[in-house]
Structure formats: C-alpha cells, structure tokens
Amino acid sequence: MSKNTSGKIGFCINQPEFERISNQVIEKLKNIGTPALSDSLNKFNTLGPEIKPVYDDLILVGQAFTVRMRPGDNLMLHKAISMAGPGDVIMVDTCGCQNYSVLGDLMVSAAMKRGISGIVVDGGIRDIRELREKKASIFAKTHTPAVGDKDGPGEINSPISCGGVPVLPGDIIVGDINGVVVIPKHQLDIVIEGAEKKLAYEVIRAQEIEDGLVTKRDIDKKLRAAGIIE
C-alpha cells in the first residue's frame, strides 16, 4: 500500500507503507532462484524475456519501489533514487519507450551509494561497460546511448506495469540470469512453499535420470492416452 504525500494524478509522489521481509527470507529466495519461483507462480508474474541483467552472475532480491514515467523522461527516477534505500528494488515503467536511455552510470552510482538493492528498467539504459565493471544490480530491456528529458510527469509508488507484469509497491522482486519474477507480498509464503516442492522434485528426478529413467513416466502415459503409442 502507498499513501499520497504530494502531487496530482499522473504527477505525484507516494510514500510506500508495507512490512519488510526478513534477511532470512531474502537469502532463501536467492537460493531458490527464478525458475522454481516462476513454476510456483503458475507461470504468471514472470517479466518478458527481453529484460536481462547487465552481467550473468547477478542475483537480485528485494521489494518493489515503483516508478512510472513519461516515455523518454527520467525526472521521477532521479527522485526515486533519492527516496529508496536498502532492501528496495526500483521497478521502472517507461510506458513502452525503448528509444531513450533513462538510466546510466552516474545514476546507478547514486543508487549504489544509498544501498538500493537494484533497478529493473522496462526500457533503455546506457554506460553498460561501466555498469558491468561495478557489478551493478541492473536489469533492462535494451541499451542505447541516446538520453531523454528530465521534465516529467511521472508517478512514484503507484501501481505500474513492468515487463508485462503488474507491480505494486512492496511486491517481492527476484532476478537472476534466467529473468525476473514478481511475487505479490500476500502470496509470498505459498510461492516459497511451492518452489521448494519443485526443487525437491528436481532432486528426485535427477537421480532417476542417473539411474537410467531418461523419460518421465507421465510422458508415455500422456502419449498412450492420445493413442500415439501402445
């Protein structure tokens, strides 16, 4: 939930109000990874595959601090970086803009100085070499050297769409080399439970493969039901 603190519709800053998840839960989510979490979410809430990390070993977990901006404008992202802090993942909705970069090295340096966990941009970023050298926790849809404006309007901590997924302030964000998932906060416990069950199954299935059972039993069962095999 968020409380409006200043502005008007389409040009406002809201103060997020949500309970923080524990460091223990954060570490658990890092170890689970996005594939099992995506499965537990029943394949919903996985950001579009175009949104990728700036380096392969990146693992990101935190809670959403949302920003929605006019295409090609990053005024509110500058403000969000000054407001967000440790444990926050700034989720950026550019309203579909890919022609302009809304984030670069200096803004990321400011975010890292504040201890912000990471930034996910449904749009363009630049200064990729510098971001990789810093091991910056950044995901983005595209790279471009072209920069836009700083005039607004925009919204901070309102509902947004990022990578085709609805995101609310306080939602749990998990990202790695496979992609990014959004876990609604009220569903966190059941999503973790389902993901842990999936990981336990994978241990069993890996042993079956090692023992020679290359094809899962239910594959042939489905083919027999379809009349493909006897």
Write the DSSP assignment of 71-115 as a string of letters. Answer: TTB-HHHHHHHHH--BTEEEEEE-TT--SSB---HHHHHHHHHTT
Q: What is the pLDDT of residue 4?
A: 59
Give me the pLDDT at residue 2, please.
56
What structural domains does the chain harbor? 2-185 (3.50.30.40)
Q: What is the pLDDT of residue 3?
A: 59
As a whole number of angstroms, the distance between CA 205 and CA 224 comes to 21
Residue 176 β-bridge partners: 179
Q: Give me the pLDDT at residue 1, please.
A: 52
Query: Residue 215 has what pLDDT?
Result: 87
Give pLDDT, residue 101: 98
pLDDT of residue 201: 95
Q: Per-10-residue mean pLDDT for the chain, 230 residues long? A: 69 89 97 98 96 97 98 97 96 97 98 97 98 98 96 96 98 98 97 98 94 89 89
